[in-house]
Structure 1
Amino acid sequence: MSRAGSFPLDFSSLTPPREPCWFLALPEGFDSRAEPHQRTAPVAMTPAHALACFKAIALDAPRTRLVSEAGLQVELEQKSAVFGFTDKITAEAMVAGPDKAVLAVYSRALVGYYDFGVNRKRVTRWLDAFYAAGRAK
């Protein structure tokens, strides 16, 4: 699979690159071929609301744009400040129970071998803001 991947992305059959230039957050108990770096927890929102909330947080970040949207999945791009390298971020909201949702997020560099932790920091920051928004409602 290329780093860009196809859209919509199948998180269960995801095969990340061997290079350390990606970060994956998956729901607790989600069956996937890839081992996630972080597990995500359910929130008291519908999946559509959870995805809209996450998308708003992401699009508020500098140099970030929406590339595609299908169902409960979005694909975003963010360019680095100095060199303009593009990272691709795919997020999907999933049902976690009645009026509960959980997110899967895959962020990867499209160029280069090592990302200096950029993808981890981005996903962690966006998920922290997402959970804070969920608690504030």
Structure 2
Amino acid sequence: MSRMIFVNLPVADLAKARIFYEAIGFTNNPRFSDDTSACMVLTEVINVMLMTHAKWQTFTSRPIPPSTSSEVLLAVSCSSRDEVDAMNEAAAAHGGTADINPKQDHGFMYNRNLADPDGHVWEAMWMDMAAAPGGA
């Protein structure tokens, strides 16, 4: 069995966050969602648990960082440069921010960073492994 990853993120507005994540390609798993959290599925092994601040605080007493900080940068692969661009456009159109860091184009690798409505940073990236230094 493959290992799964559940990225847990505190969100100020659960409905707004869910709309945002659906717009950038995630689907909701209602089995693990309620009025305090939403399980958003990217692949069969990658999930994001969006939690209201109250729900988040049942897991830790550590403070929720402000939306202007970067606690982590989560990178997700895309199938093409166009998909990277589309994810950023969808982020900007649904309450997030596209290109919060400079776009990077290294020929064999292309990425753009976006932030969700709560400031969580994602990197949409595409890579041509055959063209990568050292070959694949």
The structure that has the greater radius of gyration is: 2
User: Is TM (by shorter chain) over 0.5?
Assistant: no
TM-score (normalised: structure 2)? 0.32
User: TM-score, normalised to structure 1's length?
Assistant: 0.32
Higher relative contact order (CA 8 A, sep 6+): 1
